[in-house]
Structure 1
Amino acid sequence: MSASNEAVVQHKVGLHARPAAIFVRQAAKYSSRITIENLTKGTSPANAKSILSVMTAAVRMGDHVRIAAEGDDEQAAVEVLSTLIQSNFDETE
């Protein structure tokens, strides 16, 4: 079984630099296999626990992404990572 969710990235730099690092650190807390896919650009699913993989997905502001997880804590991982993106990484700008 697996879990997934789609979200639109609202952060002004997308998933680059600091937001990507926050995303990867959060993903690493889960035992499930987690991927992020840039649906806007049609990239292949990238390992959400690897900063290089996440950066290679080239996620920019306004891009639609799919977060998918498979494993014991898949639902929690997808929910937390989706909320992180939707909350603009808890930034007010």
Structure 2
Amino acid sequence: MVSQQFTITDELGIHARPATILVNVANKFEADVKLVYNQKTVNLKSILGVMSLGIAFGSEFDIKADGSDEQEALNELEKTLLNEKLAKISVRK
């Protein structure tokens, strides 16, 4: 299992558009990908799960991946978060 902590930099937080982008990226991989926020864990391959968290500007969250392509999944999600200016890396793990 690999994980990385991020901080939301988008003033609107994780709303429908960024949630859709993240879910689409996560679904490209075989790995089990989870988003952890406020002690709640959801499947990052589920738009409803991601939206249900209501992650706001300045919030910290973790992405965890477990499976055969876990590192590739985490790397691609990290790249997407940074390129879309949605989040920054909080703590390099």
Higher strand share: 2
Matches within 5 A, 1:42-81: 42-81=38-77
Supply the distance in 2 between the matched residues of 1:13 and 1:20 (Cα, whole angstroms).
12
Percentage of pairs with the same residue: 31
The answer on whether the counterparts of 1:8 and 1:85 sit within 8 Å (CA) in structure 2 is: no
Q: Cα distance, 1:61 vs. partner?
A: 1.2
Match of 2:13? 14
**SS of 1:45 mapped into structure 2:** strand
The alignment of Structure 1 onto Structure 2 pairs a total of residues equal to 86
Q: Cα distance, 1:90 vs. partner?
A: 5.2
Supply the distance in 2 between the matched residues of 1:29 and 1:90 (Cα, whole angstroms).
21
Alignment RMSD: 1.5
5+ residue gaps, structure 2, are: 87-93
Match of 1:23? 22
Supply the distance in 2 between the matched residues of 1:63 and 1:83 (Cα, whole angstroms).
18
**SS of 1:49 mapped into structure 2:** coil
Give the TM-score normalised by the residue count of structure 2: 0.84
Give the TM-score normalised by the residue count of structure 1: 0.84
Matched, 1:36 2:35: yes
